[in-house]
Structure 1
Amino acid sequence: SVADVALKDARAELMLARFGALSVEGVDVAGLDQIAVQRIAVEALALLADVTPRPEASFQQMLALNRIDVTSLSIKEQNVAVIEAIDLDGMQLAALLDASGQMRWLSRLTAEEAASSVEAADEKQPAGGDEAEAATTENEAGEPAPFTFRVDKVAIVGDSWIVFDDASVKPPFHARLAPFALAIENLDSTQPDEPATLTLDTRLGKYTDFNLAGNLWLFQETLSSDISGSLTGLDLPTLSPYVVTYMGYDLRRGQLDNQIDLRIDKDVLDINNHLKISKLNIVEADPVKASEFSAGLAMPLDMALGLLKDGDGNIEFDMPVKGNLNAPEFSMSGVINLALGKALKMAAMNYVTSALQPLGTVMFVGKLLGKAMELRFKPLTFDAGSSEFNETGREYAEKIATMVIDRPELKLTFCGVANGQDEALVREAMLAEQPADASARQANGEESGAAPELDPELVKERTLDLARARSEALKSLFVDDKGIDAERLFSCRPMLDFEEASEPRVEISL
């Protein structure tokens, strides 16, 4: 056994590794090609620790382990290792990012290594013929057989936890995963097509459970996985620093559940998240970032959320995440941002399409970044000259009303429109109101054969009245018949549309 061993890097002021005790039991050596050890134990291990304790720091080392137990190790032919089990007991991992996004301790180590590399390069002399000759000799000797290993099980056990602090976002992010239990079985570098199995169970904070289980192919040239899991009860305000940074919105309230299917096929992501969000409340915190995110969404975020929130304030949708890990432009934050935008848009559009089938469709009108984007439904059409619903129109209006009842955050605008057919019928009605017999026209000083003249402005006003009556009829259906709050319904000025293909209608938009 060995006790109290430490390896320091004085220049970086880092304790690279330290352990309190190392013990080895049941050693059987049958030559250099056959070594067996029943048990190896390392106690009080620390990696990357401050040489001089910092009282102001919450953590003095990046990784600490109460104990490592290696059970039944055998080494054959100097390049084949087989281990029955490795247990990491009482793991304490502190992953701390500074304001620049660099990992504490690691950043100091890499900075020192970079400085050493520069010094070594300055001192290096040009290679001579002896070095070339040595290289030739080594190549002629041939390369040794590759090292292979098999580990039946690696497990993180006991009172283990992970702390993640990120000072690169505002406000700083803090998360604690405890207890943290991880097991990986069947690690075999000689069988790259056979998967290792993974199980993870942990808790984020006091109330959020997170678990994963499935298969990993770790020894192929590319990474593959087939893993499923769940995240339940995550308070969304804890993620607000990242959402503000990447999306421009502050999460004031909300809770998230997520069913995860994490599939990777030869470095290509094919992940699906089935998200359930409860009682979400957000506010815009960064208008520029919010506009950029909405550009990918193709509608303002509040519009999409209004379409998705049910009567209890809950949202449920799927969010696929796809991408190639080897693509030069790949970044996880960018991939997630894009995936979330597409998923929200798809979920909103699917809901509207399903709610209004087979009578309604939806389209976007206007400019998004200028906040003038509208989501407009298929217009509600009327018979020419009428403000009463026909059979198809009433069915469509009732479907929209049902959707508004189901989505209590939706607010609609109605715009009544009259066309050329409407104006012609208005003229006919106005003419019918004029004195019809010749004597009446003569009494008014008109010639007996002359057609009465109508005031163009009066015709226009009466035609606009018809358009207005259509939007009022729709609002009356929503408020009086369906009990929808009038404060959720808005009317715009009535319009005339004399295009040849135009229809008598009410335009409906969010």
Structure 2
Amino acid sequence: KASAAVSVAPLQIENDQGQWLGWQRLEIPALHVSGPETPDLRASQIRFTDLLLSRVRQAGDAPDAPPLFQTKTLTLTDLVADDSSLQISDAGMNGAHGLIALDSTGQLATLIPVPDASGESPPPRESTAENGNPAPESDPAPRESDVSAPLPAFALRIDSLTLDNESTLQFRDAGVQPPFERTLFFEHLRLTGLQNTSPSAPAHLDTAFSTDAGAQLSILADLTPFARPPGFSVQLTGQQIALPRLSAYLEHTLGYQIESGDLDTRVTINGHADAFTGTASLKMTRLDLKGRPGSTQSASTAIPLDVALDQLKESDGIIELDIPFEHKAGESDVGLGSFVALIMKKALYQAAKTYVVNTFVPYANVVSVVALAGEQLFKLRFEPLPYDAGQLLPQRPQMDYLAAMKAVLEKRPTALKLCPVALPDEADTLSADDIAKLPEDLRKLPAVRVLTQKLEAGIRGEPLALAFADARAAIFRYMAGFSGLSGKTFISCGPVIDTGAGQPMLAFRVD
């Protein structure tokens, strides 16, 4: 038997593709080793500082890409290991950051590539079936779960795995147009009961997170990742999901772009990786569709979804649906686009075709009433709210506008589309230090956090201006909440750049 304290200085393991693994420090206060031939390792605590996994090296003098995963600290408690097993009581991560970046072929660009024996690259991903229709049925291969699984050669057990509320996960997909990007900010994540000696015994996942678009989501799940095939029972709840951000995944299947709208949802899924069933409860608010660029539909066919779903909508313009879905063995893989599009399409085909727009009394200082061309209908139009170039916080003119808007909405409640407009380079003089001077409650807004990340990364031009416009809209929405307006008064609308040397603004629309 032997015992020792272990401290390992910075370490990097790399090859010509990049860095596989690295840390600034590894500390083991007390490592116990026993056994004459096969070592038995025990440690009450193992602590990694600035742990990094898979940083791909870029060509030429370009800086290395962000890593697949990094964490400020990883602390393992009550570890026991030998040549056939590993047990960990708790694995806790603080300040963890992951980056899942898919290239145009669907391959994970942040993972250092490992060629197979033939030296061939993995095949590119295939598109889902056109218009969301399943592929023709074929005879499915025998399910491996029908065969008794042998005990694993190496036994793994992790009683608890946790992430703190400073952890994030960024997702990028270059395989859709425009490229999709989303950042998740974890409130908590806890995975318990992960082990492979009893594959049918589920691990339990409990997590909640927000996104840089203001959505709030939570997941409760029972998972059997070591079963063959892996199984799951998942319940997902989401609020204020900005659907325009998912438009790139839905355009081909639906034949429409999503112009604006928010979604509250509750989804349950049960089954295995090759076959599952579920139900999606949807609550949609002012979801507007318009024809894709280059499609045969004219721009005049742009419709709000509550027109098509008139029979299902309530007086407040909210549409609620319960949509069952199923994926059978042998069908094509279900991706995010086909999954959401299938649900949306089912809702669309249940709809009627009539619509009545409520008329509003105009308030000249903020709104006007305009007639819809060719119809005996009217709509309320809010005038744009101008900002100075580079102005992030609302000043007296914006607060006066907000007060007048509140008076209008108290008399005529309705939901407004909030659409931020920016100039191409108006945020180029901004720095992360400027954001640090904001009040703490504003700095914590997801859109402001994303703006800070882009500033720290040295991003400039239109990508920064779009993030700046999003942050400006988020702060206005936050201030509106303090004035007494509900957070659901405003419906998400993606930021745009005004290339005509106009003026930054927040545009408001009601259809």
TM-score over 0.5 (shorter chain): yes
1:145 to partner: Cα distance: 7.2
Q: Which amino acid aligns with 2:334?
A: S
Equivalent residue for 2:86, pick from 81, 90, 94: 81
Residue matched to 2:8: 2
**Corresponding letter in the other structure for 1:27:** L
Inter-CA distance 163–117: structure 2 relative to 1 (3 Å threshold): same
Determine if the alignment matches structure 1 residue 49 to structure 2 residue 51: no
* Cα distance, 1:55 vs structure 2: 8.8
Matched residue type, 1:95: I
TM-score (norm 2): 0.55
CA distances 1:225-259 after superposition (whole Å, capped 9, x unpaired): 22223100112222222222432212222111001
CA distance in structure 1 between the partners assigned to 2:156 and 2:285 by the alignment? 47
What is the CA distance between 1:47 and its match in structure 2? 1.6
Within-5 A mapping of 1:137-148: 146-148=153-155
State the distance in 1 between where 2:119 and 2:102 align. Answer: 25
2:334 corresponds in structure 1 to 331
Cα separation, partners in 2 of 1:187 and 1:178, compared to 1, 3 Å: same
Q: Counterpart of 1:408?
A: 356
2:73 is aligned to: 67
The answer as to whether partners of 2:250 and 2:340 remain within 8 angstroms in 1 is no
Aligned residue for 2:211?
Answer: 204
Once the two structures are TM-superposed, the CA of residue 172 in structure 1 deviates from its matched residue by 2.1
Q: Equivalent residue of 2:106, what SS?
A: coil
Q: Which runs of 5+ in 2 are unaligned?
A: 1-6, 122-149, 299-303, 359-373, 378-511
What is the CA-CA distance between 1:35 and the residue it aligns to?
A: 2.9
The verdict on how the C-alpha distance between 1:101 and 1:226 changes in structure 2, with shifts beyond 3 A counting, is closer
Q: Deviations over 1:161-196 (max 9, x none)?
A: 011122222222221111353211011222233221
Counterparts of 1:87-486 in structure 2, within 5 Å, are 87-106=92-111, 109-110=113-114, 113=115, 117=119, 146-179=153-186, 181-205=188-212, 207-265=214-272, 267-285=274-292, 304-324=308-328, 327=330, 329-332=332-335, 333-345=337-349, 347-348=350-351, 408=356
- The Cα offsets for residues 141-164 of structure 1, whole Å up to 9 and x where unpaired, read as xx9972112211011224110111
Q: Counterpart of 1:60 in structure 2: which amino acid? A: P
**Matching residue's letter, 1:318:** D
Instruction: Encode CA deviations 1:38-89: one digit per residue, 9 max, x unaligned.
Output: 111111112221446999779532221111111101135x313221011122
- Tell me the secondary structure at the aligned position of residue 227 of structure 2: coil
Q: Is the 8 A contact 2:221 2:234 kept in 1?
A: yes
Q: Which residue of 2 aligns with 1:140?
A: none
The AA in structure 1 aligned to 2:81 is I
| Counterparts in 2 of 1:257 and 1:302: CA distance versus 1, 3 Å | closer
**Aligned-partner Cα distance in 1 for 2:28–2:247:** 49
| Matches of 1:260 and 1:289, distance apart in 2 | 34
**Is it true that 1:26 corresponds to 2:33 in the alignment?**
no
Q: Any unmatched runs of 5+ in structure 1?
A: 120-142, 292-299, 353-374, 376-403, 411-484, 489-510
- Quick check: 1:306–1:409 contact (8 Å CA) kept in 2? no
% identity of equivalent residues: 23
Residues 59 and 94 in structure 1, CA contact (< 8 A), matched pair in contact too: no
Distance 2:78 2:11 in 1: 24
In 1, the alpha carbon distance for the partners of 2:296 and 2:157 equals 48
Does the 8 Å contact 1:41/1:68 carry over to 2?
Answer: yes
Alpha carbons 2:77, 2:90 under 8 Å: kept:
yes
- State the shift of 1:269 in Å: 1.4
Equivalent residues of 1:27, 1:35 under 8 A apart? yes
Higher RCO structure (Cα 8 Å, ≥6 apart) = 2
| 1:248 and 1:286 in contact (8 A); partners too | no
The amino acid of 1:90's aligned partner reads G
Q: CA deviation at 1:487?
A: 4.6
Larger Rg: 1
Letter in 2 for 1:321: F
Letter of the 1:74 partner, please give it. Answer: V
Would the aligned equivalents of 2:288 and 2:305 in 1 still touch at CA under 8 Å? no
Higher helix share: 1
2: CA distance, partners of 1:187 / 1:91: 20
Aligned counterparts of 1:179 and 1:145: Cα–Cα separation in 2: 33
Instruction: Tell me, in whole angstroms, the C-alpha distance in 1 between the residues paired with 2:32 and 2:296.
Output: 64
SS of residue matched to 1:117: coil
Residues 251 and 57 of structure 1: CA distance in aligned 2, closer, same or farther (over 3 Å):
farther
Deviation at 1:206, TM superposition (A): 5.3
Please give the per-residue CA displacement for 1:459-504, whole angstroms capped at 9, x wherever unaligned: xxxxxxxxxxxxxxxxxxxxxxxxxx9958xxxxxxxxxxxxxxxx
Tell me the residue number matched to 2:454: none
* Partner-residue secondary structure (3-state), 1:87: strand
How far off its partner does 1:303 sit? Answer: 6.6
Q: Secondary structure at the match of 2:248?
A: helix
Q: Deviations over 1:9-39 (max 9, x none)?
A: 21x3x11222111122322223136432111
Partners of 1:64 and 1:318 in 2: CA distance: 40
**CA–CA separation in structure 1 for the residues paired with 2:297 and 2:84:** 56
DSSP-derived class of the 1:338 partner? helix
Read off the aligned partner of 2:30 and give its amino acid letter. Answer: G
Deviation at 1:312, TM superposition (A): 2.3
Instruction: Give the SS at the match of 2:108.
Output: coil
Q: What value does the CA root-mean-square deviation take over the aligned residues?
A: 3.7
- Please tell me whether the aligned partners of residues 169 and 245 of structure 1 are also in contact (alpha carbons under 8 angstroms): no
Partner of 1:368: none
Code of the residue aligned with 1:278 in structure 2: it is T
Letter in 1 for 2:311: L
Following TM superposition, by how much is the alpha carbon of 1:323 offset from its aligned partner in structure 2, in angstroms? Answer: 0.7
Distance 1:183 1:250 in 2: 36
Secondary structure of the corresponding residue to residue 42 of structure 2: strand
